[in-house]
A and B are shown apart, each in its own frame.
Chain A
């Protein structure tokens, strides 16, 4: 049943429900996960109490909560910096990833030349790359974007290439019989076929993008959750580090869910037949 929400147009909550689909339709599915999480946090609180751990080794959840209340006002700026880096880096990864995927899928030579290089690029850990980038492009936004993009473009390239390759040969032949050019084949058949693969890759990239940004900030930055962690560590505020961890987790999940929703909007034909299940 649709719930009337004051101040919102009626259609909005309904639309959101449709958009969220299985996510929104069955919050109950996630109840066991939440219960388990709560139990673990409870156990943690209990153990810290019983064992009487030092707070600079392992603080209790309640102490972490206190740290959040105490230092929470510092967070918005850091969160904004990290989120900006993550989102812009993700966009760069998506743009570059799709471009590379199209090249690889349509030019055999590009496949042979680029694929090995792309795979090799993934063997260089971000934590090694970040300091080099600081030297080359400075400690500004650019170096963080590059780290996030380098972490994110790989899954996007791989799954978009797979998506392009999964296109129905007969559909390509059909549009060719209509006199379509290579570019029109790409536009009408190959790219739409690759949309699900692209989003599968983008989801993975989204899940790692915040971590990518944090690692880059770690090396050098003026603002961001990475810098917040470094400063907390320097002053032995382990509780603050845990606050940062929780914020990073929430940010990553938020980005992941955002990509999931975007995928739904971008491929409406996939959800054409389950309106009845979630619509009301």
Chain B
């Protein structure tokens, strides 16, 4: 078996303070290279905290978090991380924001720029290369943040609710589009969401988390053929799987 792209073992974390918040209570997770893995859990259970550990921004109290076998503790930059907020830099035009990660990773500027320009069309941003972030719609900002993450030269993508702020219609479009982009790319994706349908449409594997303090409640293999059309949500198999996932979520909540 090849080495896991992402591996988490017994991860624990408590935010200290006058009222300490115990967030992660022994989390385990594994993602095979090239897999699309979702993390589903109720709001506030610790999904973003988990991703921050993997991004190397937060040192956990215990346990290990590995990207391609390397510990992320005190070691940011091993994976391409897209935070929950788009966090576009207001002083950089769309193209400047797109190349930020590539630039910091040391890619030659002209090359990074050309690479980004080639992708603006795919990400539905053609014609907005020279726009300021404040001139873009919510959906476009989200796609630009995603493009920025894609352009970071890393094998693992950590996406924190990338479509959380979008309306249902735009979201459905984004699901189709993300599948296409991912299929042509062969990178590992760890995708955080609190939307069960979204997880089923996109993933090879979906993990269900318990409420805070979080553990893994269940792990589902999702093997519908790809590409998965939006209509898939009405198929009996999908509906049954959705019910199982929801039951796992509810079961985890009522423990």
Contacts and interface: CB of A to CB of B under 8 A. Distances in A.
Interface of A: 168, 170-171, 173-180, 184, 188-189, 192, 195, 267-269, 272-273
Given A272-B134, A273-B135, A173 B57 contact: yes
A188 B76 contact: no
B213 interface: no
Interface residues of B, number: 22
A195 B134 CA distance: 17
Given A173-B57, A177-B56, A272 B132 contact: yes
Contacts of A173: 52, 57, 83
A177 B57 contact: yes
Contacts of B57: 173, 176-177
- Specify which of B89, B101, B132, B135 lies most central, judged by the most chain A CB atoms within 10 Å of its CB: B89
A192 B57 CA distance: 22
A268 B96 CA distance: 14
Contact of B134 (A176, A178, A269): A269
Interface of B: 52, 55-57, 76-77, 81, 83, 85, 87, 89-91, 100-101, 104-105, 132-135, 152
B247 to A, nearest CB: 35
23 contacts: A168-B87, A170-B85, A171-B89, A173-B52, A173-B57, A173-B83, A174-B83, A175-B100, A175-B104, A176-B76, A177-B55, A177-B57, A177-B77, A178-B81, A178-B101, A178-B104, A178-B105, A189-B89, A192-B89, A192-B91, A267-B91, A272-B132, A272-B135
Contacts of B52: 173
Main secondary structure of the interface of A (DSSP, over half): helix
Chain B interface main SS type: loop
Contact of A174 (B87, B132, B133): B87
Contacts of A273: 132, 134-135
A203 B133 CA distance: 27
Given A170-B85, A177-B57, 7 more contacts: A170-B83, A170-B87, A171-B89, A176-B56, A179-B105, A268-B132, A269-B90
A189 B100 CA distance: 11
Contacts of A175: 100, 104
B132 A269 contact: yes
Nearest to A179: B77
